[in-house]
Structure formats: C-alpha cells, structure tokens
Amino acid sequence: MRKVEEAEAVVLGAGVAGLTAAWLLKERGLRVRVVAQSLGEASRVPVALVNPLRGKRFTLARKGEEALEAALRFYSRFVSLHLGVYRPVPKGEREKVAARLGGLKHSWEGEGVLLEEAFWLEPRPLLERLAEGLSLQRARVLAWEPPYLALEGGGRVRGEVLVYAGGGQGAHLLGLPGRYIPGLVLTLLDYFPRAISYRVYLAGSVLGGSYLPHQGTPEAPPPTEGEAEWLLQGAEALLGYRPKVASAWRGMRFRLDGPTLPGGMEPPGRGIPYLFPVEGGFALTGLGSTGFLYAPWLGERLLSALGW
Ligand SMILES: Cc1cc2nc3c(=O)[nH]c(=O)nc-3n(C[C@H](O)[C@H](O)[C@H](O)COP(=O)(O)OP(=O)(O)OC[C@H]3O[C@@H](n4cnc5c(N)ncnc54)[C@H](O)[C@@H]3O)c2cc1C
C-alpha cells in the first residue's frame, strides 16, 4: 500500500494562482501542500504586466483597482516591482480614456497616461521565492478524487480542502470547459525600465501582446514569423525603430467558458468567474491574460469563501 500524504489544504498547481493561494492559506496557519509537475506553465512568461486598464479600448478590469492594490501588497514582499505603465492614448480619445481610469493613480504625460501604480515584474524569480516557503511536491496528478489527488506512480495526497489551480494543463481533470489562446513573447537586446503598452507592450527586456485565434487543446503551436513581425511592427510604432530580438517564448493562456461551468457552479468572486466551488473544494483558474493581476485578490477571496 502506498503512503497517503495529508494536509489541511492541498493545492494542485504551482503557477502564480496556486502558489499565491497556498501562501495566503499558510499565513492563516493552515498546513498546506502544493502538488505540481512543474513550477508554473503560463506563469513562466518572461515578464508579466500588472495593468488593470486593458486593451486598445482602455477598459478598466472588473475590480481592477482592488486587484491592483492586492497585487502591490503581495508581490512586493517577494520581488522588485517596476512601477509605472505608460499608455499612449490615440488623438481625440483623451476624454474617453480619462473617464475610464476610475480611482487608478495616474498622471498625463505627452500623448499618453502614466498609470503610476501599475507595474511589471519577473515571474520566474517570483515563483521560486514563493515555492521556497511552501511544501511543494513535484508529481503529476492523474485524477481529482476528493478528498484525494491521485498521483502518477500510485501515491495519493489527501486534503480537507482541495484547491484546483492547474491552469489549462490540468483542466481535463475536472472537466472544465475552456479555450486556449497562444501568445508569443520576444526577448530583446534593449531594456525598457518603464513599461509602454498600446496594442503591444515593451517592459524590461520583452516585447509581447500577441494573441492567436483560440484552440480547444493546450498543445502550443510553434511561433510563427507572422506573429513576430506583427509584434515588431507594433514596437516600431511605439519606439520609432525596430528593437533587436534575442529569443522567443511561446505560452498558452487559458480561459474558461464561464456560463457553462459544470454542475451549475457559481463563482463567489462577485462576478469574477475565476474562483468557484468544485467537488472537494474550489477552483481558481481560467485567468486568461490577467493571472498576475488577479491572483492575490482571488487568493484573499478564497480565504473568505472558506471562512478562514
Ligand atoms: C504569452 C503570454 C503572456 C502573458 N502576459 C501576461 C501579463 O503580462 N500579465 C498577466 O497578468 N498575465 C499574463 N499572462 C497570463 C498569465 O501567464 C496566466 O494568467 C497565469 O500564468 C495563469 O496562472 P495559473 O497559475 O492559473 O496557471 P499555470 O501557470 O499554467 O500553472 C499551472 C500549474 O498546474 C500544474 N499542473 C497542471 N496540470 C497538472 C497535473 N496534471 N499534475 C500536476 N501538476 C499540474 C502545472 O505544472 C503548473 O504548476 C500571459 C500569458 C501568456 C501565454
């Protein structure tokens, strides 16, 4: 008979969602164990922007101000945050954009707006720091069988509460319906201490912001020249020159098909569909391109949902 490991809370997944939730649970005094086959998947993106003012339309993300505050509070304990995201605003749209800023701290500079408390960070050191303070078991989960996770090789882990934070790779374990959106990030020889974002973004030594049409499976397609060219054109429009490329990183965003969550699951996150009850606990997933913005805020919501 294989040994069964036990903890009060068992988190499946060591990306930004799982590690953040695990830290917050641990700080409430719980015995927490994280089980994951690798340290993040989508969360291994070379640079993450934490920017609540989304897209070309400058839409303020739901609960964006609260999420940004929670993100500042949490991540600043582990890594340096590079504050300030500059968003060029197209001519004639200043009034419209000004009306969308909500309570975000900002200042107008030249042809754009500087979001003073939005920031970028390097996810990989963040994941490592978070993992250092947690009990992390490297294993592949084959089945979600509350109160157990069944592992490859025959072992099991038992949790009074199970938290699914397995991103797109593990979504099949719970039958979560979703879509996978490939994106490409180019690393550059240049360095941009302050992030600039319009259509594409430049932050640190990366250029990102590409979205391929969504697909139904998590397998990543290879990077294409068309995507790289689109990114470089976007960078040229912002900078007036083409930055030189060092390498390319392909990642897959995962979004849930919200209204069709299995078993009529209801999100407790006040209209944010990334945190919802599942058999044996909660799922915290489907964060699309906003995982780093929402993970700390959702982790706090998880504590409330659990009554801890
Ligand atoms: C190109 C690109 C650029 C992005 N840029 C940004 C950005 O600038 N800002 C931002 O906020 N977000 C950005 N994102 C989105 C962000 O990366 C994701 O929202 C976030 O990383 C999702 O985190 P997660 O913890 O849910 O999942 P993941 O990071 O995918 O982690 C999943 C975890 O579950 C584990 N796992 C899965 N299945 C199993 C299994 N069967 N057994 C064991 N372990 C398992 C994996 O090993 C991993 O540890 C970007 C994404 C991409 C692809």
Per-residue pLDDT at 87:
98
Atom of ligand 1 nearest to the CA of 47: 8
Domain boundaries in the chain? 4-177+256-306, 180-251
Protein residue with least CA distance to atom 35, ligand 1:
13
Categorize the per-residue pLDDT at 268 as very low, low, confident or very high, splitting at 50, 70 and 90. very low
Position 210 pLDDT exceeds 60 = yes
Pairing between strand 112-121 and 106-109? antiparallel
Digit-coded pLDDT (tens) for 107-150? 999 999 999 999 999 999 999 999 999 999 999 999 999 999 99
In the chain, beta strands by DSSP E: 4-12, 32-36, 48-50, 53-54, 59-60, 82-88, 106-109, 112-121, 135-138, 141-145, 148-151, 156-164, 178-198, 200-208, 245-256, 275-278, 281-284
Atom of ligand 1 nearest to the CA of 120: 8
Cα angle at 267 between 266 and 269, to 5 degrees? Answer: 155
CATH top class, domain 4-177+256-306: alpha beta
Per-residue pLDDT at 269:
47
Atom of ligand 1 nearest to the CA of 250: 1
Q: What DSSP line would sit under 236-289, residue for residue?
A: HHHHSSPPPEEEEEEEEEEEE-GGG-GGG----BTTBTTEEEETTEEEE--BTT
Position 265 pLDDT exceeds 80 = no
- Ligand 1 pocket test, pick from 253, 294, 302 with the greatest ligand atom count within 8 Å of Cβ, gives 253
CA distances 161 to 30, 157, 268, Å, are 11, 11, 16
Digit-coded pLDDT (tens) for 29-55? 999 999 999 999 999 999 999 999 999
CA of residue 16 to ligand 1 center, whole Å = 7
Position 264 pLDDT exceeds 90 = no
Protein residue with least CA distance to atom 16, ligand 1:
291
Return the structure tokens found at 107.
Answer: 């200042």
Dihedrals φ, ψ of 240, to 5°?
85, 5
Per-residue pLDDT at 101:
96
CA of residue 152 to ligand 1 center, whole Å = 21
Rounded to an integer, the average pLDDT of 4-15 is 93
Q: Which residues line ligand 1 (CB under 6 A)?
A: 13-18, 36-38, 40-43, 45, 48-50, 140-141, 165-167, 169-170, 183, 185, 208, 251-253, 285, 287-293
Digit-coded pLDDT (tens) for 15-25? 999 999 999 99
